[in-house]
Amino acid sequence: MQQKLEQLKQDALRALQSVTAPDALEAWEVAFLGRRGALATLMKGLATVSPEERPLLGAKANEVKLGLEQTLVEVKTKIEGARWEKKLEEERVDITQPGQLIETGHLHIMTQAIREITEIFERAGFVRSRHPEVDWDYYAFEALNMPKDHPARDEWETFFMDAPIDEKMGKMVLTPHTSNAQVRELQKREFPVRMINIGKCYRRQIDSTHVPMFHQFEGLYVDKGVSVADLRGILDYFVKAFFGPTRVTRLRPFHFRFTEPSFEIDISCGVCQGTGRVDGQKCRMCKRGWLELGGAGMVHPNVLHAAGLSDAEYSGFAFGWGVERTYSMKEGMNIDDLRTIYKNDVRFLQQF
Amino acid sequence: MNILASFEWIKEYVDLEGVTPEQVASRLSLSGPGVERLYPQGTEWDRIVIGHVTTVEAHPQADKLRITSVDVGSKTLRIVCGGSNVKVDQWVVVAMLGARVKWHGEGELVELKPIEIRGAASEGMICAANEVGLFDAFPHGEAEILDVGEVFPERAFIAGQPLAAFLEVQKDTVLDIEVTTNRPDAMCMQGLAREIAVVLDRPFKPVVPMPIEEGEKTLNVSINTEDCQRFMAVRVDGVTVAHSPWWLKRRLLSAGIRPINTLVDIGNYVMLELGQPMHAYDADKVNGSLTAKKAEAGQAMKALDGKTYDLDTTMLVIADEEKPVAIAGIMGGEETAITLETTSVVFEAATFNEVNIRRTSRKLHLTSESQSLFEKGLSTEALPIALARAVELCLTLAGGRVVTNIADQQTLPYKAVARAMHVEKINELIFGKQDSETLSKNTISSEDMEAILTRLGFEPVGTKNGVLSACVPWWRAHDIEADRDLVEEIARIYGYVNIPPHFPAGISGSTRDPSLVFEDRLKTLLKGLGFTELMSYSFVSRELLERAQINPEVCLRVQNPLSNDFEYMRPSLMPSLIQAVSENQERFPRQYVFELSNVYQQKKGDLPAEQPELVLGLTGASDAWNRLKGRVEAIFRECGIQVDAWRRLENDPWWHPGRSMQAMVNGNVLATVGEWHPRLAERWKLNAPLAVAQMRVADLLAVTQFSKTYKPLPLFPESTRDLALVVDEALTIETVQRVIEEANEPLLRDVAWFDVYRGQGVAPGRKSLAFHLVFSHPERTLETAEVDTAFARIRRLCVEQLNAGER
């Protein structure tokens, strides 16, 4: 009996050596370890041996069974492994082949700039509004403390519309700045006025640094007790959010009709870190370490009056800067010819 | 306006001992006019020195050249010289090797290298004035070198002294300063010095000229127009006009003005020094007394620039009893101009209306230094000082004697104005409202405010009951227009950098404009759908409109366009889109583009309607129209818009009659999609069919459903069957779908077309349409038999009603 068990073990192991496929392994399992397999058949003979021999043979049979089962698991693992290996080998690809070409869309650089500016100011509690591009002289100039004869109005190089002149509102113009929104917004009486107006503006100029249509963003904050300190706070916040946390601002005196006091805003140059020098040479990006961002100021009392507000009660600040110019001041955004922005050359558009 | 100011000159009016130009530039920029650039003087004269000619010999190979020996102190140089006036014992300007000169006064600076000229070696160059940038100071004839001994007869010379040191410019720096248009008072040396004195807190030394000793003769001037506020004149006889001394020339040159002769230079000097333009007439050529008045119709005058100007009755002139002798405030006449022969001069100082000066200047296309100051608005109170200063300089530099009274006419008496503001309000505007704790930290005391204003020349200044009051100095009368202007004066001198920033936390009183938010959402969606955004100018050409069959007459026109390309406000974005596609088509045969911008529709008696429009363009596929329609449908899906029907658009010049359609919602057209009419496409030479779509953003927003509604997921499985029908070519998918829906099959949940087939197995003139039919029941799992029955009934109905066959 013992011999038979040993023989069975040897036979089974020999048979297993030629097994390489999963179904053959299954057949082997049935033949040797199955319910009616060779081992089971042999075990039936256990009933005929003497009670003394029985525990010994039982133990032996169990040992053979466990041994074969363990070998089975090993072989099974090996076969499985080989099967996967083969399959995965077959599925191997050239990973240097470029991915499927997905044509993605592109938003215009101005849309992206406007979005970024809007988001920064919305976080500061300013809300974007919509105001006309074709507007009355009244809102574009008159209400902004620019009387008809004032030379400041020559500077704007305004486009006029071929349209009748309104008795009260004057000529119809293409607004040369987003400041036409100031009195319009104040007339809504939604205090505190915390407006960011981003829109198209128009001036009669075209060269590499001027386009006849461009975008400005206008900030207006009018409430009781608004101060120069508030303007400085908002400027610092915007410049750090837009250009980066290391940049600083400064105000310089300037002159605009619709603000008093008026300022020119400079930001420290990102190329020379505000030193005005790069490797011992004059920085080519800036003037003496500073870049001109644009104008700002405290809303002129006459502008408040035009909106029917008392300057004893209300004060505010305003600023208006070119989106193209401001965006060009970002690192890596130095667009040498602004006209490119509106040429619709897909090669340009796809860069953004 | 930018002013070039010599640092050495400025120092005449403000004590700047121990202060560098850089320090002035940094401090002044923060509190006053901005200093944009610094130009250290004489740096371009490196290795250019004074030399002494010791020998002159003929050049063996060239008649016009000489071989000279020039002592430059440390050594003697052998220089080949072509100067016609070179001679022994002459003091000259020598450019040594390595110096940079302008050859014959033209072109860029060139570095001098050892050279052989016609076989003779030359170790440098004896310079003409124009070769070292001094032509304006020392004009000369062709091929004449600068004879320093001749132009500086009174000076002693040292061979080898650098030219910059000899001309006393080496310590100077010219500051390029931007002065804003409201500050003509600072557009001169004294005015800038005053600003610097206040900003740096240094003593200011104003110009105090000798009073004029009037003569016995009578000089009359009169004003015959309200556009001249004051007119002063005085006559000096026995003057000798010559070239100005170097110091005067040098100062004019440093400010960018060319020296002419003593008297003209004096006028310009006073203008640069005090900001008050002056004019000088040759008194012997003036006929009778001078009058400021409007020109007569048809009058003309030849001005100092040699051109004749036709004048009209709006233009101010100064006229003698016969003729205009000056276009007032802009340019004098040639006939009465000062020449080297002049012996008798009338100095004029006047004040004119700034608007008149500006308009005349624009009309005549004639500008001058004088005009650019007058058009900013000047004070009548500057005249006596400027006139006295001119006479003082004249007596010193040109001699002569004042022979007349000082004529002085004034139509508008000057009255000084006081401005006042609450000290507390000033502080509040600068620092914001403060609680009692921070109050002392962030305020400017009334004493400090008074001190600042006093230094700026306000007089008297005082505070009473918390109100600061200050009388505006005459030179600031034009720009200190209102009480508020005091704030700027105080704050800028106090220093904006000293105002602590404060972030004003809070929220706006108004709400976001829903259409702006919607536009942004649409753009994001379109990018996701693979579209590239275009942005074109709002104005287009007449030609483009006409090419797109838009009548320009209905469009809003720009009265003064930059060019024909920018003449009409576009009533649609479509022409610009087509244009962009055509311009890009060679490089990009496949294009998915859109633009979302305002379009402009004229309105009678009001501003035009500005409406955002969305146009899309898709090219590069034979089924472009279908691809675009699918993307428009995706927009609708994203916006929660249910289209009632797509209606064919057949009779529109823009749209291909067989391939264009309109989405109908609530009985209105929401969007048009289709192929750009091939007849128009030809005008743009489009290479391939171009599908376009157009919709108004407001229409889209009006039917957009922002809110979503939740539907429970089906509890029981759905069963799908495909229905294929062979029908006539003309039969539309919509018709088949309607027949299926009208079967009113209660188990039918959804019908979706998925295929069309023509070809083998389908008769010509017929097509096979295939649909997915989805069946389900809300309360139980369907039996196969039930679905079979329902499907068969629908199929039968279709076959009957549509004359359909089956594949």
For residue range A235-269, list pLDDT tens digits in order. 999 999 999 999 999 999 999 999 999 999 999 98
* Contact flag B516-A254 (C-beta cutoff 8 Å): no
How far off is chain B from A178, nearest CA to CA, in Å? Answer: 15
Q: How far apart are CA A311 and CA B376, in angstroms?
A: 28
Q: How far apart are CA A178 and CA A197, in angstroms?
A: 7
Using CA coordinates, name the residue in chain B closest to A311: B484
State the best of B179, B573, B607 to mutate against chain A, taking most chain A CBs within 10 Å. B607
Beta-strand relationship, A134-136 and A259-268: unpaired
* Contact flag A254-B180 (C-beta cutoff 8 Å): yes
- Give the 3-state secondary structure of B224-282: CCCCEEEEEEEEEECCCCCCCCHHHHHHHHHCCCCCCCHHHHHHHHHHHHHCCCCEEEE
Reduced to 3 DSSP states, what percent helix, strand and coil does chain A have, rounded to the nearest 5?
40, 20, 35
Residue among A133, A251, A350 minimizing CB distance to B532:
A350
Low-confidence ranges of chain B (pLDDT < 50): none
In degrees and rounded to multiples of 5, residue B84 shows phi and psi of: -70, -20
Residue among B31, B557, B584 minimizing CB distance to A253:
B31
Using CA coordinates, name the residue in chain B closest to A198: B516
What's at A71, amino acid-wise? T
Chain B positions in Cβ-Cβ contact with residue A187 (cut-off 8 Å) = none
**Straight-line distance from the first to the last Cα atom of chain B, in angstroms, rounded to the nearest whole number:** 85
Q: How far apart are CA B726 and CA B767, in angstroms?
A: 5
Q: Which of A101, A4, A255 is nearest to B481 (CA)?
A: A255
Q: How far apart are CA B590 and CA B27, in angstroms?
A: 58
What's at B401, amino acid-wise? R
State the best of A100, A102, A107, A139 to mutate against chain B, taking most chain B CBs within 10 Å. A107
* Contact flag A227-B562 (C-beta cutoff 8 Å): no
Task: Identify any residues that bridge with A259 across adjacent strands, giving them in sequence order.
Answer: A299
Look at the block and give the residue holding tokens 């001005």. B303
- Predicted ipTM > 0.95: no
What are the Cα distances from residue B617, in Å, to A132, A341, B226, B540, B600?
27, 20, 63, 19, 21
How far off is chain B from A205, nearest CA to CA, in Å? Answer: 8
Q: What pLDDT shows up at residue B199?
A: 97
Q: What pLDDT shows up at residue A284?
A: 80
Count Cβ atoms within 10 A of the Cβ of residue B666 and give its class: 0-12 exposed, 13-18 middle, 19 or more buried.
exposed
The stretches of B506-615 forming alpha helices (DSSP H) are: 514-528, 542-547, 574-584
Residue among B487, B512, B602 minimizing CB distance to A261:
B487
Q: Which of B804, B485, B293 is nearest to A253 (CA)?
A: B485
Q: How far apart are CA A229 and CA A233, in angstroms?
A: 6
Q: How far apart are CA B379 and CA B230, in angstroms?
A: 9
Q: What pLDDT shows up at residue B142?
A: 85
Chain B positions in Cβ-Cβ contact with residue A200 (cut-off 8 Å) = 538, 598
Q: Which residues have CB under 8 Å from B588's CB, separation 6+?
A: A346
Q: Which residues have CB under 8 Å from B318's CB, separation 6+?
A: B279, B290, B291, B292, B324, B325, B326, B328, B348, B350
Q: How far apart are CA B114 and CA A102, in angstroms?
A: 65
Residue among B510, B515, B533 minimizing CB distance to A188:
B510
How far off is chain B from A242, nearest CA to CA, in Å? Answer: 16
How far off is chain B from A219, nearest CA to CA, in Å? Answer: 12
Chain B positions in Cβ-Cβ contact with residue A190 (cut-off 8 Å) = 508-510
Token digits of residue A43: 């075990």
Residue B313 three-state SS: coil
Token digits of residue B105: 């006064």
Contact criterion met (CB below 8 Å) for A239 and A333? no
Residue A247 three-state SS: coil
Q: How far apart are CA B313 and CA B315, in angstroms?
A: 5
- Report the half-sphere exposure of A192 (CA within 13 A, side-chain side): 20
How far off is chain B from A109, nearest CA to CA, in Å? Answer: 9
Q: Which residues have CB under 8 Å from B82's CB, separation 6+?
A: B64, B65, B66, B143
Task: Identify any residues that bridge with B767 across adjacent strands, giving them in sequence order.
Answer: B727
Using CA coordinates, name the residue in chain A closest to B510: A190
- Report the half-sphere exposure of A34 (CA within 13 A, side-chain side): 9
Using CA coordinates, name the residue in chain A closest to B595: A108
- Report the half-sphere exposure of B157 (CA within 13 A, side-chain side): 24
Chain A positions in Cβ-Cβ contact with residue B532 (cut-off 8 Å) = 105-106, 346, 349-350
Residue among B520, B526, B530 minimizing CB distance to A103:
B530
Residue among A111, A254, A261 minimizing CB distance to B533:
A111
* Helical (H) or strand (E) element with A123: helix A109-123
- Tens place of pLDDT for every residue, chain A, 352 residues? 788 888 888 888 898 888 888 888 899 999 888 888 888 888 887 778 888 888 888 888 888 889 989 998 999 999 999 889 999 999 999 999 999 988 899 999 999 999 999 999 999 999 999 999 999 999 999 999 998 877 667 666 899 999 999 999 999 999 999 999 999 999 999 999 999 999 999 999 999 889 999 999 999 999 999 999 999 999 999 999 999 999 999 999 999 999 999 999 999 988 888 888 888 888 887 888 888 999 999 999 999 999 999 999 999 999 999 999 999 888 788 888 999 999 999 999 999 9
Using CA coordinates, name the residue in chain A closest to B527: A105
Contact criterion met (CB below 8 Å) for B335 and B307? no
What's at B514, amino acid-wise? P
Task: Identify any residues that bridge with B402 across adjacent strands, giving them in sequence order.
Answer: B236
Q: Which one-letter DSSP state was computed for residue B652?
A: -
Using CA coordinates, name the residue in chain B closest to A127: B512
Residue B689 three-state SS: coil
How far off is chain B from A57, nearest CA to CA, in Å? Answer: 59
State the best of A260, A292, A323 to mutate against chain B, taking most chain B CBs within 10 Å. A260
* Contact flag A159-B559 (C-beta cutoff 8 Å): yes
Angle (CA) B213-B216-B222 rounded to 5° is 90
* Contact flag A229-B482 (C-beta cutoff 8 Å): no
Chain A positions in Cβ-Cβ contact with residue B484 (cut-off 8 Å) = 260, 300-301, 311
State the best of A100, A101, A102, A108 to mutate against chain B, taking most chain B CBs within 10 Å. A108
Residue among A106, A228, A344 minimizing CB distance to B499:
A228
Q: How far apart are CA A295 and CA A218, in angstroms?
A: 10
Q: Which of A300, A323, A137, A326 is nearest to A214 (CA)?
A: A323
Chain A positions in Cβ-Cβ contact with residue B581 (cut-off 8 Å) = none
How far off is chain A from B218, nearest CA to CA, in Å? Answer: 39
What are the Cα distances from residue A208, in Å, to A159, A246, A255?
20, 30, 26
Q: How far apart are CA B45 and CA B93, in angstroms?
A: 10
Token digits of residue A78: 């090996």
Token digits of residue B502: 């404060």
Q: How far apart are CA B387 and CA B271, in angstroms?
A: 10
Distance of CA B414 to the CA centre of its chain: 36
Q: How far apart are CA B749 and CA A136, in angstroms?
A: 57
Handedness of CA B791, B794, B800, B801 (dihedral sign): negative
Residue among A124, A229, A288 minimizing CB distance to B501:
A229
What are the Cα distances from residue B196, in Å, to A155, B34, B379?
28, 11, 21
Using CA coordinates, name the residue in chain B closest to A226: B432
Q: What pLDDT shows up at residue B693?
A: 98
Using CA coordinates, name the residue in chain B closest to A137: B607
- Give the 3-state secondary structure of B316-360: EEEECCCCEEEECCCEEECCCCCCCCCCEEEEEEEEECHHHHHHH
Distance of CA A97 to the CA centre of its chain: 28
* Contact flag A105-B566 (C-beta cutoff 8 Å): no
How many other CB atoms are found less than 10 A from the CB of residue B465? Answer: 6
Using CA coordinates, name the residue in chain B closest to A257: B182
Size of interface A-B (CB pairs under 8 A): 244
Encode pLDDT of B556-571 as tens digits: 999 999 999 999 999 9
Encode pLDDT of B648-658 as tens digits: 999 999 999 99
Residue among A159, A194, A251 minimizing CB distance to B558:
A159
Distance of CA A291 to the CA centre of its chain: 26
* Contact flag B558-A160 (C-beta cutoff 8 Å): yes
Q: Which residues have CB under 8 Å from A21's CB, separation 6+?
A: A79
Q: How far apart are CA A4 and CA A2, in angstroms?
A: 5
Q: How far apart are CA B326 and CA B333, in angstroms?
A: 5
Q: How far apart are CA B451 and CA B463, in angstroms?
A: 11
Chain A positions in Cβ-Cβ contact with residue B604 (cut-off 8 Å) = none
Nearest-10 Cα torsion for B129, B130, B136, B139? 60
Residue among A111, A233, A312 minimizing CB distance to B502:
A233
* Contact flag B535-A341 (C-beta cutoff 8 Å): yes
Encode pLDDT of B200-227 as tens digits: 999 999 999 999 999 999 999 999 999 9
